[in-house]
Amino acid sequence: MVRAPNPGPMTLDGTNTWVLRDNASSTCVIVDPGPDDDGHLSALAAYAPVEAIIVTHRHLDHLAGVAPLADRLGGNVPVLAAAPELCRNADHLADGARLDLAGLSMSVLAAPGHTADSICLLVEDGTGERAVLTGDTILGRGTTVVAWPDGDLGAYLVTLDRLARLSGVPVLPGHGPTLPDCGAVAAEYRTHRDQRLDQVRAALAAGASTPHEVVSHVYPDLDPRLLDAAEWTVRAALAYLEPA
Ligand SMILES: [Zn+2]
């Protein structure tokens, strides 16, 4: 894993770029090139030959480096993503698609919620060892934001229930450290979301009438830098509880 130098309240220590290959493979696949940072992209280009670049979702801290990295690698490298407009030299990734890259077999799990186009990738190497790349759907620390209006809480809860079935599979997240058990952390995330929904219901019952007022009820001691993220998440909860 190569960590990009873009730390911050939303990116934790920075974006994790995953360079993956089976032990027996001379090529690799790069997942989430990260920001357009010269030093970071040089470090990634040094892993050439690269069979493909995969993007877990459309946010710029994962995506901005794609085009410049592809150019450094010669421009013909396929870029794979769920959203057709993010792809280059390849069709978009549908739920359940299977990929054989760099000696690894990968299956695509559509994971809408954080964004509409989020995917996770279940990866298995030649020895049968598995891991799941989760992008921003599950992070190495804390919980993620459901980025309303592109994000959708109802979809995210379904995604968490799917990921909860990956019991014992290690998580390689888009930010923060790796985690040992996708099933366990997805179940924890689900509990956390259910508690937040209860808090939003309580805030509404106590008279909060705007997203801003709900945020003050639910997140009373919030780091001001996270206020926008909290408001997106509260708007997603309100859209879930009170569909238009
Ligand atoms: Zn994101």
pLDDT single digits (tens) 39-77: 999 999 999 999 999 999 999 999 999 999 999 999 899
Q: How far apart are CA 72 and CA 38, in angstroms?
A: 11
Cα–ligand 1 centroid distance for 205 (angstroms): 31
Cα–ligand 1 centroid distance for 146 (angstroms): 9
Host H or E run for residue 192: helix 182-205
Cα–ligand 1 centroid distance for 126 (angstroms): 30
Cα–ligand 1 centroid distance for 136 (angstroms): 5
- Rounded to 5°, angle at Cα 196 from 63 and 217: 105
Q: What is the pTM of this model?
A: 0.92
Cα–ligand 1 centroid distance for 60 (angstroms): 8
Q: Which two tokens stand for residue 123?
A: 């990866």
From the list 86, 149, 162, 164, the residue with the least C-alpha distance to 116 is: 149
Residue 19: beta bridge partners?
A: 30
Please measure the distance between the N-terminal and C-terminal CA atoms of the chain and give it in whole angstroms.
42
Q: What is the pLDDT of residues 178-230, one digit of tens each?
A: 999 999 999 999 999 999 999 999 999 999 999 999 999 999 888 988 888 88
Cα–ligand 1 centroid distance for 240 (angstroms): 20
Q: Is residue 18 pLDDT above 90, yes or no?
A: yes
Cα–ligand 1 centroid distance for 8 (angstroms): 13
Question: DSSP 3-state assignment of 124?
Answer: strand
Q: Is residue 26 pLDDT above 70, yes or no?
A: yes
Q: Is residue 2 pLDDT above 90, yes or no?
A: no
Q: What is the pLDDT of residue 149?
A: 84
CA 69 to chain CA mean position, Å: 20
Residue 65 backbone zone (phi > 0: left; psi -120 to 50: alpha; other: beta): alpha
Cα–ligand 1 centroid distance for 57 (angstroms): 7
